[in-house]
């Protein structure tokens, strides 16, 4: 079950990333960029298992961001489009990671986490279909759906860690702070996108 769920998550991540940016870049670039992000995530996760298991979530986020940054610099990717695509792909992968932990360890908090990510992905699909019709979002730029959903997920995480500090991925008070900062950054990105002309 462990290998199967992680394989589904990884393949889903690569497929979502490719599908979201395939119109703007050639396939070799999108898959190479996806594998760079994947390498950053797996390296960070391996290090967390050895040195800081409670911090695995944030080390994975760090590895993800470093892999993403390297891909942007190497292939000249547009930040907003690629960041949103990678975020949605990572959410899909993490959903299966949480689900795997929930099944393997009979862990309720991981099951709730998987459920929140599933709702987030469904919300993204809905927002991505209709966000250009929002009169207040005049720029119509790509990024609104992914960044909004990510902001709410980190906000929920911040609330969860504030009241329940024994979460599978919780690093105590620092987790609340980092989740709050991440939520703020994503909402700030949405605000900036709404003010930018197409």
Percentage of the chain lying above the pLDDT 90 cut: 35
Residue 88 confidence (pLDDT) above 90: yes
- pLDDT band for 166, please (50, 70, 90 cuts): low
Averaged pLDDT, 46-61: 85
Residue 171 confidence (pLDDT) above 70: no
Q: For residue 139, which phi and psi values (nearest 5 degrees)?
A: -70, -35
What is the Rg, in whole angstroms, of the alpha carbon atoms belonging to the chain? 16
Pick from 154, 110, 108, 147: which is nearest to 128 by CA? 147
Q: Which of residues 100 and 107 earns the better pLDDT score?
A: 100
- pLDDT band for 1, please (50, 70, 90 cuts): low
71/68 Cα distance (integer angstroms): 5
pLDDT at residue 51 in the model: 83
Residue 104 confidence (pLDDT) above 90: no
Q: Which of residues 195 and 87 earns the better pLDDT score?
A: 87
pLDDT digits (tens, 9 = 90+) for 28-52: 888 899 999 999 999 998 998 888 7
- pLDDT band for 121, please (50, 70, 90 cuts): very high
The burial class, CB within 10 Å (0-12 / 13-18 / 19+), for 22 is: middle
Answer for the pair 32, 63: CB distance below 8 angstroms, yes or no. Answer: no
Averaged pLDDT, 83-92: 92
């Amino acid at each position: 079950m462990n290998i199967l769920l992680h394989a589904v998550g990884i393949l889903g991540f690569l497929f979502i990333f490719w599908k979201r940016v395939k119109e703007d870049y050639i396939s070799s670039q999108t898959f190479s960029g996806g594998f760079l992000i994947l390498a950053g995530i797996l390296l960070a996760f391996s290090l967390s298992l050895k040195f800081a298991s409670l911090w695995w979530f944030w080390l994975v986020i760090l590895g993800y961001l470093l892999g993403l940054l390297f891909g942007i610099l190497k292939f000249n990717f547009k930040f907003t489009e690629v960041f949103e695509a990678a975020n949605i792909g990572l959410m899909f992968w993490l959903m299966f990671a949480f689900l795997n932990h929930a099944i393997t360890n009979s862990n309720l908090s991981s099951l709730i986490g998987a459920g929140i990510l599933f709702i987030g992905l469904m919300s993204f699909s809905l927002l991505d279909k209709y966000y250009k019709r929002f009169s207040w979002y005049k720029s119509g730029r790509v990024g609104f759906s992914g960044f909004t959903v990510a902001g709410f997920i980190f906000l929920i995480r911040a609330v969860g860690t504030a009241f329940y500090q024994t979460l599978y991925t919780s690093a105590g008070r620092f987790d609340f702070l980092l989740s709050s900062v991440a939520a703020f950054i994503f909402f700030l990105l949405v605000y900036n996108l709404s003010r930018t002309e197409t």
